[in-house]
Amino acid sequence: MPNPAKAYITTIAALATAVLAIAASRWNPQSLTQFVALFTLALLASAMKIHLPGFKTTISTNFVFILTGIALLSFGETVLLGLGGALVQSLWKTQQRPKPVQVLFNGACLTVCTAAAYYVSHNLPTMVGVSSVAAMIAVGAVVYVVLNTGLVSLVVSLAERSPLRKTWPSCYEWTFPYFLVGSAVAGLASAASQGTTWGVMLIVVPVMYCVYVYYRMHVIRAVLENISHVSRENEAMLAGASQAR
């Protein structure tokens, strides 16, 4: 791995360590039952992951519960949702055994993204005189999506020595529809449930499972179409070479 990539991963890991230290020092769970329920759902959602074509990474439905945590839980609780989800997403049923540095970066990345989304979503709406769950989740979703795709794209760019201007749009293109639907579901569930965990579960779980199944089929179809396209191009090249003889 190139030295710039190593330095970048070290920086993100240091930021995540600082975030966890702050979360531990300010630990104030509002409802242990609610936290355990959402934490369990986030871990289960992290197991429902989709491999992104062209990237050695995955996305899962755990971000929906992270956004829900932003609205219903404290800072420390929400950060733990992000970290726990990242570890399950990295280690559970992987096609190849992940390297320790990959697990480290994934955990650090989601920790930093979750903390930033929580902080901005709880402060920016108040600064502009807006106080609503919808505004909180909308701001949190924007921060989370932009930061998450940006951090992942940058590490890929540094590791593969590829231009960030090409890597980031590709990552964003694959993940944006998924994040958009999930953010909308999280916002509607948090508002409709009136802060009750059971209400969130009844709304989010079945909807996001359907979204996960649909998006997984969409990615598989896109990969198969790409393979078919490459195969046709190869056949055309072979045919042309044969005629040239």
Those residues of the chain that have pLDDT short of 70 are 52-57, 171-174, 187-208, 211-212, 214-216, 218-245
**Residue 172 to residue 137: CA distance in whole angstroms:** 19
Q: How far is CA 84 from the centre of its chain?
A: 12
Report the pLDDT value the prediction gives residue 91, as an integer from 0 to 100: 87
Report the pLDDT value the prediction gives residue 56, as an integer from 0 to 100: 65
Report the pLDDT value the prediction gives residue 164, as an integer from 0 to 100: 83
Report the pLDDT value the prediction gives residue 83, as an integer from 0 to 100: 93
- Which DSSP state fits 49? E
**Residue 41 to residue 65: CA distance in whole angstroms:** 7
The amino acid present at 107, given as its one-letter code, is G
Q: Which domains does the chain have, with CATH numbers?
A: 3-214 (1.10.1760.20)
Report the pLDDT value the prediction gives residue 230, as an integer from 0 to 100: 46
Could you identify the residue written with the tokens 């959402």? 38
